Amino acid sequence: MLWTILSIVVSVAALGVAMYFYRWVKALPSAGSEIERIGKLIRDGAFTFMKREYKILGTFCGVVAAIILLVYPKPVWTAEGNALHNLGMAACYLFGATLSGTAGVIGISIATIANIRSASAARDGLAPAYAAGFRGGAVMGMAVVASSLFGAGVLHLLTGDSNAVMAFSFGASSLALFAKAGGGIFTKTADIAADLTGKVELGIPEDDPRNPAVIADNVGDNVGDVAGMGADLFDSNIASIAAAMVIAASLQGGNMIELLFCYCALGLLASILGVFMARIGKSGDPGRALNGGTYLTCGIFAILAFAATAICDFPMRVWGAAMIGMIAGVIIGFTSELFTGDDKKPVERVAKACQNGPAFTILSGISYGFLSALPSLAGIGLSALLAYKICEPVGPGYAMFGISIAAIGMLSVVGMIISNDAYGPIVDNARGLAEMCGLGDEVLEITDKLDSAGNTAKAITKGFAIGAAGLTVIALLGAFKELVEAANATINLNLMNPLVFFGALIGAAVPAVFSAMLMLGVDRNSRVMVKEIHRQFDNTPGLREGKVLPDYGKCIDIATRGAIRELIPAGLMAIVMTLLVGLIGGVNAVGGYLMGNIVSGLLLAMLMSNAGGLWDNAKKFIEAGNFGGKGSDAHKAAVIGDTVGDPFKDTAGPSINTQITVVSLTSSLAAGLFAAISLIH
Amino acid sequence: MLWTILSIVVSVAALGVAMYFYRWVKALPSAGSEIERIGKLIRDGAFTFMKREYKILGTFCGVVAAIILLVYPKPVWTAEGNALHNLGMAACYLFGATLSGTAGVIGISIATIANIRSASAARDGLAPAYAAGFRGGAVMGMAVVASSLFGAGVLHLLTGDSNAVMAFSFGASSLALFAKAGGGIFTKTADIAADLTGKVELGIPEDDPRNPAVIADNVGDNVGDVAGMGADLFDSNIASIAAAMVIAASLQGGNMIELLFCYCALGLLASILGVFMARIGKSGDPGRALNGGTYLTCGIFAILAFAATAICDFPMRVWGAAMIGMIAGVIIGFTSELFTGDDKKPVERVAKACQNGPAFTILSGISYGFLSALPSLAGIGLSALLAYKICEPVGPGYAMFGISIAAIGMLSVVGMIISNDAYGPIVDNARGLAEMCGLGDEVLEITDKLDSAGNTAKAITKGFAIGAAGLTVIALLGAFKELVEAANATINLNLMNPLVFFGALIGAAVPAVFSAMLMLGVDRNSRVMVKEIHRQFDNTPGLREGKVLPDYGKCIDIATRGAIRELIPAGLMAIVMTLLVGLIGGVNAVGGYLMGNIVSGLLLAMLMSNAGGLWDNAKKFIEAGNFGGKGSDAHKAAVIGDTVGDPFKDTAGPSINTQITVVSLTSSLAAGLFAAISLIH
């Protein structure tokens, strides 16, 4: 139990680091009352949304917990001892949901402080502004990883039951699914409405205080990108631990659960060290600081894990699997950068296509998005295959365990990755505050530089998150099989079994339907908001001239109500489809369903994230003065591309990861149910 | 052998019917020298393209035939008898390619006559114009189905070897893949360039003779929609026969190959009867005539097949599987209509979204495209499952045979379906001729009505073609397994096998990459053509005023050269990836690869075909006077959506079917190779 305890210790230390950074950022000076006032508007908007969202999610989680209490793993009415067992499961579920929710609140809380501090610090130069942004992000990074590892460690210590960790993970995932979908809808509703009315119709710059949607847009960065992405990686992290635990529990000999906690603890430790060392050097390049920190963390983890494996006499092949995962994660992340980086060919080509009008913008962006799927999918497939093969000689069952350890290896540096990622919306907000409060061009130049590095970090994180989800769900498929066999049922996941094929076809359609529902939600909501902005401009004398301030609250309210209304149906659809397929076709159909879901989900996630990033950067490339620059026809076409890309890359695309994970966990939890009752066997 | 011989007899009869219709259409009067002159321009353009395309494809097929001769099924240098066997295989391959090519030539030849006759007949009313268009389409329908069945029957009679039919099918498919891709690139290059410059920039109507791209656009309808779609369904039809034969050959007892020829012969017979009966009644509704003919054909086939099954004492359960396939095909076809029909909700909603600008047009269209995938994929999965289950009790191996018979059942009415489909571009061309030759508004009204029915038929055919390809490739996966086992190798297509997963991830990315390559090709070519159109308008005095005719040949040449250049790489990529995966991961990886390819291919095909159809009809809905009508901002947004949809629905989307089939056939043919040599086992 040494490593389980140590991982709890490291988690507590990481929480301490998070608290230290929180205070450090909070203690930084602010630039005056105006920035405080607007910062407070953003903060209040974000908390209003979170409160209303969590109220709905609380009800949802309560209902699910009640269902678990009644029937999971065994109906309370069938035997006397069941009630207590079910109560434990329901508690684990709620524990997961609560921790995941808390991490989101912590993230929002620090992000809406760090944005002010970073904008203020930008008056003193790049380095202090960067530090405020990055350390703010690190609070989120540390809090997410520490709380997930803490939860898993405590539950393992208390129960020793991998199913309890599975229920914990399901709690975190179901919250993450809705948080991501809700935040994604909120942020893009506001972003699209603000851009279309402000930049396109009225010709006022981004973040102009006259735009009624401008505060909602900045709120959206926080609830979508900070809370949403944090929940997503919380979910992947804990799901990868749960999958590895289930498979490890089925292994003969070798204390593989210890090894898994060992790697998680060392990964978090490496992230702590990495976060402290990711300083901006003399180069003054924030992008290099972020990437340098990631590489450093990887290096530290590799060495620490090697040493621990040697000292504790764990099989060295398992360490190899972890390294395969880690390297694959970095490569997949940087592949996304290859397709979306603003100094790379695809961005230039899409920008060039904009000169021929919006239709070509869309066609070329989608085409490059399609192309970008191949290296990532091949990378995930290859790393799973290698991890399997490298661990196969260790012993029976170790091959599949290798895949789950590759996922753990990939997620080892997740603390650092989330820190980098949360940095993005913080400095994006800082830019907005600098613009709205008129801090001057020099400050804007610095925040622009910080923001640009943030966008790149965001693209890398997305690729990384998709890769991590990919390996995790492959491992979860292995866990699903173990759980079916533990329920004494037979499973035949052969492709020649028509139930497998039937499931695969339906599973493949689910991410498409899920994405469509989210995008149609954004579409509906932003149209409502555009109407509201028009109403304000038409009915508020002096607003156009900047003499009167708009009613920001109205737009925040529209985005909130819309997101709340849309967030449940899409997620519920994915869960209900899983149950339907299982109840019709049993465990074999579910196996195929997971396969189809994973394969098509990863494909669509890559397409949408990368096409969206590409359009965003093509627009920026043109705005930098290429192909006619701002205001040209090419620019107008690029703005249309960017608007299509917004829900692609920030609503649907990154939510698919979570959808896949939730579906996989639902299947695992309901494995016994499907094995017992199904229409066709 | 009775039914094999009978199917050859029915094929010859169908060829006779084709010839009768050909002469009947040709004997109709034409409207004068102007229409003849322009008709000849279209015909010459189409044949110029076909000649150049077939020259390239001839070289390609020659190279493949040479490779087959050298190494397939066994290298000539390993034993003396191999050379003769290989020669036979190469001959079968070339036979398939030649027949498929010939069907394309026949189709183009009649379509470029029927367009003139239909436009001319429109002066006498709707019914004669419809008859000219439909009977012209029926020439293609009969020729395609008859020649594929004839080829399969003759080869079976001569060799009795299902591998020979497999090679025949591969020949047809590889030609179809390139014909479809090349035609699809040609047609959309011209269509997009003509629309963008004509409708959007210059504000001249569709098919205006002043537009230098107008003839190329009409040529494109023929080479893309007539020759391309014909080749596609030729390919599906023959591939379904080949798959069923391979599986039937492995069955113990029961003459299932006879049954399969029986169903094919009766399906063709039913199509002949259906084609004769699909007349336009008193209702004067061409859409009803087309659909009525399809239902009638289905009914006739069902009764004939039932009677034959009872009389010949075939298992009645197999008849059930055929019925499941047939009904599924019709349902899937009409589901496409639900999402793309211009009196249905999605079209209205997308048209409404156009009011908010092009970004919303694109987002809503893609969203509905995603939604449309679920019913079709579920339909394919469910029919495969039911066909499997219904045939399982017949005997060992019959379950998988049931799936292949469902594909045969679905394709039983293909003669009728192709006739309906080829009708579309013929009347589309007739409309163009009526406009260009100034036949007057009354004639235009009639051709518009015919054209609209053609668009609906086209949407149904696409859904049907995707469904048919889906069932066929599932059956081909079964055939692949049989062939691997026939090569005395073991195969483990369990999802827990990481090679299967590795293959699935790569297979899923291939249709995306394939689509991207085709779309980027269209993108590149149409930009070149737009430049040429601008050049002509700028440098030709009097062209704008209609005093001088433009240089049509230049645009035809650009489309031709572009299509020829782009058609090989995408198809070759799919084939090479298949070989790579097989040589790296062996038969298990290829099994997964096929699964991933099928699942993601069907998903993307549905998305692209239906989103494209939706945008097209949303534009027409607005042009009919809704949401501001022609020239409004909503209309401009709809035109952008339609332009994005063009390569979606007419280049990439429908080519994916063929890509999946070709990859499946490549795998089956190379099964022995992969079993013998691969990097990982």
Report pLDDT digits (tens) over A622-675. 988 999 998 899 999 999 999 999 999 989 988 998 899 999 999 998 998 899
**Does the CB of B573 have a partner CB in chain A at under 8 Å?**
no
At residue A393, the pLDDT reads 95
More confident residue, B205 or A289: A289
* Res. B15 pLDDT band, cuts 50 70 90: very high
Question: What tokens were used for A119?
Answer: 């904008």
pLDDT score of B374 more than 90: yes
**Does the CB of B608 have a partner CB in chain A at under 8 Å?**
no
Q: Which of residues 404-463 of B touch A (CB under 8 A)?
A: none
| Nearest chain B residue to A390, by CA | B498
Closest by alpha carbon to A309, among A252, A263, A241?
A263
Residues 6+ apart with CB under 8 A from A284: A126, A127
Residues 6+ apart with CB under 8 A from B51: none
The mean pLDDT value of chain B amounts to 91
At residue B216, the pLDDT reads 93
Instruction: Write out pLDDT tens, residues B393-452.
Output: 999 989 999 999 999 999 998 999 999 989 999 999 999 999 889 888 999 999 988 988
At residue A426, the pLDDT reads 94
| Nearest chain B residue to A361, by CA | B644
Residues 6+ apart with CB under 8 A from B447: B118, B119, B122, B129, B427, B430, B431, B434
Cα A557 to Cα A228, A521, A528, B8, B526, distances in angstroms:
19, 15, 11, 71, 45
When scoring B502, B609, B681 by the number of chain A Cβ atoms within 10 A, the one with the most, hence best to mutate, is: B502
At residue A460, the pLDDT reads 77
More confident residue, A466 or B155: B155
Contacts of A325 in chain B (CB under 8 A): none
ipTM above 0.90, yes or no: yes
**Does the CB of B356 have a partner CB in chain A at under 8 Å?**
yes
Q: What is the mean predicted confidence (pLDDT) over B324-350?
A: 88
pLDDT score of B227 more than 90: no
Give how far A405 is from chain B: nearest CA, Å. Answer: 14
- How far apart CA A323 and CA A413 sit, in angstroms, is 11
**Does the CB of A494 have a partner CB in chain B at under 8 Å?**
yes
A367 with B519: Cβ contact below 8 A: yes
Q: Note whether A507 and A522 are within 8 A (CB).
A: no
Question: What tokens were used for A497?
Answer: 């079994």
Q: Which residues of chain A have pLDDT under 70?
A: 282-283
Helical pair B552-623 and B633-647, crossing angle rounded to 10 deg: 120
Please give the single-letter amino acid code of residue A274: G
**Does the CB of B664 have a partner CB in chain A at under 8 Å?**
no
Instruction: Write out pLDDT tens, residues B587-633.
Output: 999 999 999 999 999 999 999 999 999 999 999 899 889 999 988 99
At residue A283, the pLDDT reads 67
- How far apart CA A179 and CA B184 sit, in angstroms, is 43
Q: Note whether B35 and B120 are within 8 A (CB).
A: yes
Q: Note whether B380 and A505 are within 8 A (CB).
A: yes
The β-bridge partners of B494 are: A494
Nearest to B359 among A477, A600, A640 (CB): A640
DSSP label of A492: -
At residue B578, the pLDDT reads 97
* Res. B283 pLDDT band, cuts 50 70 90: low
Residues 6+ apart with CB under 8 A from A646: A188, A191, A192, A522, A612
Question: What tokens were used for A474?
Answer: 């492959």
At residue B317, the pLDDT reads 96
How many alpha carbons fall within 13 Å on the CB side of residue A649? 29
At residue B659, the pLDDT reads 94
When scoring A350, A360, A532, A590 by the number of chain B Cβ atoms within 10 A, the one with the most, hence best to mutate, is: A360
Provide the 10 A C-beta neighbour count for residue A158: 11
| Nearest chain B residue to A516, by CA | B367
* Res. B546 pLDDT band, cuts 50 70 90: confident
Please give the single-letter amino acid code of residue A201: E
